[in-house]
Structure 1
Amino acid sequence: MPFTPLASAPTAAQTATNLADTEPAAGPREEVVLGLSQDRVAITANFDGSEILIFGAVKREAPIPQDDPLEVIVAVSGPASPVMVRRKEKKLGIWVNTDSVLVDSAPSFYAVATSAPLSQVLSDTEDLRYRVSVGRAIRSVGAGMHIRGAQQFAEAVIRIRSDNDLYSLRENTVAVDQQTLFRTAIDMPADLTEGAYSTRILLTRGGSVVAQYETSIDVRKVGLERFLYAMSREQPFLYGLMSLAIAIAAGWGASAAFRLLRRS
């Protein structure tokens, strides 16, 4: 059955899941030293997406463990907000909305890159603990008892946003050299939401997380786009008048140009 997600406006109370209170598995201490090709993405009129190169190294004060190989997970998450999802059913030849569920928190963009298949890199227990996979990154706990197949609503958000290249799992795309250096590239689509994009790096061995590091990428409109966006939110009346004046001027200019062409 088809679903229609309706994204609501983000609220200030929504925050990313805090991972500071989680402790990696015990063992030789390994730390992430991270680098980004850019930590700020500027959205302009001709913006058609961006590619972020993420690279780094593993800092350690002990020899490299020889038991399980080092694996790397890179997860980039956009600003999260609630999403209203409605289920449509065909009744008397007409598609109508029936059940609806408010998905409590869904990131506007989510990409996970791994150095090997995710099932080998991270155990299910650790995935539940750190919320790494796409399904675990979405929080939906508000479905009523009368809603049948409540999990399908969260799955619909994942399916639709995956089709729009907003959600992706990119296995075997993180290159790891000598269990010390790693690098990957994350493609970001053109229709990005403004805000801070959380970037997490997790080091794992034998499916368990041994170290993690978190930073952020700032995505903002700049220049004229930023001015128009701010005006539309802060001064909607003036924005409407300006839009009307531009439309009238464009119509008059096109009419004048056609008259000149006919005369010539």
Structure 2
Amino acid sequence: MRAPAAGLAAILVALAGAGAAQDGEGAGAEARKALDAAAGALEAPLDAARDAAGAAADAAREALPLAQPPGVAAQEAEAQADPLDAEGAGRSIVAALSQNRVSITADFSGSQIFVFGAVKRTAPSDEPLQVIVTIAGPSAPELVRRKDRVAGVWANTDEVLIDEAPSFYAVASSHPVEEILSFREDLKHRIGINQLVSLLYLPEGVAEPESFREAVIRIRRNEGLYVELPRAVEVVEDTLFAVDVNLPANLVEGDYRARVFLLGEQEVQDVFETDIAVRKVGLERWLYALSRESPAAYGLLSIFIALTAGWGASEVFRLMRR
């Protein structure tokens, strides 16, 4: 408090000097100097007070840690308890595919994907190795119609839109899926076929809408597009694994997704994922692109080929009759 008092005293002295020196310019200059000195005397203690207040605030922040929002704390706790944490589970999976690209040519009759890998352990474990391998094709909505006899004629009566259905799906496992995977994990990772073909909204006025979803699965199973291979994954010494997955000839072009799941106590401990590009090449690709990009030219080409083939066949038969 001494410094502010001294500053006030200096101001009073300066004011007195200014009043006494109204008749002279030199005395006025001395009064202005006295006022500047008094202002400096006041600014020094104010700066010191600000510095002290800032130091006290920094000390309070260090003593009291900032509290995290409840949502952030919950997310951190969930991340720490994530079963896919390889360090917590003590095991992780390393896998690869024999090929990541399938070419569809004019004489394409199917292909085969060889999936193999190993388990990396960071801690000793006596838990048996359980592996599930899945390959899924592009998904798209599917409109399913039900036929019934109306006035003696078969006609479409009801229809249901399946929200999502993969064009191809294969699931291979070291043991039956229902024995090594819990329903909660199956629902979370969508491993089983029943979890991939989804009917989110039940239409009104349609009897047994669930039967339409079951019909999609049944038909594609019969066509070889939905394949289940229990006990097909070969496990060697609880470390190595391998499986062959056959791809049919009626594949749909697009990006396919391959996943390898490492399981323990009916829970997913680690996942390996990669893409498989299925593309048409050669003449198949050229005709497909022409039909999409230039439908008029594609139609004229089809007519020309049909006329040429018909004329050529007629000439062959004419020569054979001679």
TM-score interval for Structure 1 and Structure 2 normalised by the shorter chain: 0.7 to 0.9
In structure 2, the partner of 1:221 is: 280
Deviations 1:111-168 (A, max 9, x none): 1000001111111111111111011011211321332212111110000000000001
Distance 2:206 2:120 in 1: 49
Q: Give the counterpart of 1:139 among 182, 187, 198.
A: 198
Distance 1:53 1:162 in 2: 21
> What is the Cα deviation at residue 92 of structure 1?
3.1
Match of 1:248 among 307, 313, 318: 307
SS in 2 for 1:199: strand
Could you tell me whether the CA contact under 8 Å between 1:25 and 1:208 is conserved in 2? Answer: no
Q: Please state which structure has a larger fraction of its residues in strand.
A: 1
**What is the aligned partner in structure 1 of residue 166 from structure 2?**
107
Secondary structure in 2 matching 1:38: coil
Asked if residue 123 in structure 1 is aligned to residue 182 in structure 2, the reply is yes
Percent of matched pairs sharing the same residue: 49
Measure how far apart 1:185 and its partner are: 0.6
Q: Aligned letter for 2:90?
A: R
Which residue of structure 2 lines up, in the alignment, with residue 15 of structure 1? none
Cα distance in 2 for partners of 1:216, 1:41 equals 11
Contact 1:43 1:220 in 2 (8 A): yes
Q: Secondary structure of the residue that 2:208 maps to in structure 1? A: coil
TM-score normalised per structure 2 = 0.72
Shift of 1:25: 5.0
Give the count of matched residue pairs: 241
Bigger radius of gyration: 2
Question: What amino acid does structure 2 have at the position aligned with 1:55?
Answer: F
Residues 78 and 193 of structure 1 are in contact (CA less than 8 Å); yes or no, is this contact kept in structure 2? Answer: yes
Of residues 91-100 and 202-211 in structure 1, the stretch that sits farther from structure 2 once superposed is 91-100
Give unmatched runs, 5+ long, in structure 2: 1-78
> Higher RCO, 1 or 2 (CA under 8 Å, sep at least 6)?
1
Provide the rounded CA distance (Å) in 1 between the counterparts of 2:242 and 2:267: 20
User: Who is 1:18 aligned against?
Assistant: none
TM-score (norm 1): 0.87
The corresponding residue for 2:121 is 60
Is residue 89 from structure 1 mapped to residue 142 from structure 2 by the alignment?
no
The SS at the match of 2:199 is: coil
Name the structure 1 match of 2:106: 45
Letter in 2 for 1:161: R
CA distance in structure 2 between the partners assigned to 1:99 and 1:58 by the alignment? 50
Aligned-pair Cα RMSD in Å? 1.6
User: SS at the partner of 2:135?
Assistant: strand
SS class of match (2:89): coil
